[in-house]
Amino acid sequence: MAVDTTAPLVAPGHGSGLLDVVRYRYLLKLLVRKEMRVRYRGSVMGLLWSYVKPGVQFAVFYFAMGEFLRLNESVPNFAVYLFSGIVVINFYTEAFGNATRSVVGNAPLIKKIFLPRELFSVSSAWVASIHFLPQLVVLLIACVATGWRPGPVQLLGGLLGFVIVGVLAVGLGLLFGAINVLYRDFENIVDLLLMVVTWTSPVLYDWQKVAAAVGGPDSWFMTLYQLNPVTAAVELFHWAFWYPTGGVREAAVPPPLPPHLLWSGLWGLLIAVVLLAVGQVVFRRIEGRFAQEL
């Protein structure tokens, strides 16, 4: 058999980064199946926990913020408003948190064979999206029950919010997942960041309270606040699922949307893509040390 001597030499263990995720998508499916089996091994309820956990979280927040602090009196259909934000935050926290731990968690596999390491971060985001779907179904049922009538642009806004969170979670997962191999403290740092995200995003309150506290909707702080990709994604979900419900449409004074919402979403997507590129660069610089550090 003739040997092709013109093919360029490639150093072993070096791939094409995220492009290899598409090339080795069959391995990605295997990793997703493995994660799902491991997570629900010995579990009686299995995937039903995807309904139970967010349901309990919603109930706690609803009674604490809606009933006790009376937010349901100032926000029409507060239950839909709250849950449309919770599903975004749950997707982000699970995808980002698990992606950060994905490389260390798959240490035995990494030390035995070579495969694109980016697969671990992407598979974590994929598993999070599987858990996101049951929550989305529950949200849609609640929306329909409250007179949901969205327009095509609003539905595209919801899709944009989902893409923003997915890209951002993978990008930050690559970045912190690689650094976590060298310094395991970053697992705890990410846990703290995820806890902060829940309270700094407009999930438990509306954006007008933030604007009133920082000098109005045109203040520089409010502009920075809206450039946060997670904030933009949450507000896009509010626009797609909460704003078209009957209680909001029929309110005597309909609540205003955040200024420049679609532009904030596009800027959020751009920031997420930039962080994905940064995460990929850092990941590729460190991945050569994974085997020896693990």
What is residue 14's three-state secondary structure? coil
User: Confidence class of residue 12 from pLDDT cuts 50, 70 and 90?
Assistant: very low
- The reply to whether 58 falls in a domain is yes
CA distances from 43 to 37, 47, 106 (A): 10, 9, 21
Number of H helices, E strands in the chain: 14, 0
User: Confidence class of residue 36 from pLDDT cuts 50, 70 and 90?
Assistant: confident
- The reply to whether 31 falls in a domain is no
- The reply to whether 19 falls in a domain is no
User: For the segment 126-145, what is each residue's pLDDT rounded down to a tens digit?
Assistant: 989 888 988 888 888 888 88
Which is more confidently placed, 119 or 47?
Answer: 119
- The reply to whether 20 falls in a domain is no
- The reply to whether 257 falls in a domain is yes
Residue-level pLDDT at 246: 82
- The reply to whether 28 falls in a domain is no
31: which 2 tokens? 């990793």
User: For the segment 231-253, what is each residue's pLDDT rounded down to a tens digit?
Assistant: 999 999 999 998 888 878 777 77
Residue-level pLDDT at 162: 94
Residue-level pLDDT at 79: 82
- The reply to whether 241 falls in a domain is yes
CA distances from 81 to 60, 84, 132, 200 (A): 15, 5, 17, 16
- The reply to whether 10 falls in a domain is no
> What is the total count of domains within the chain?
1
Domain residue limits at 74: 46-293
| Section 178-202 average pLDDT | 86
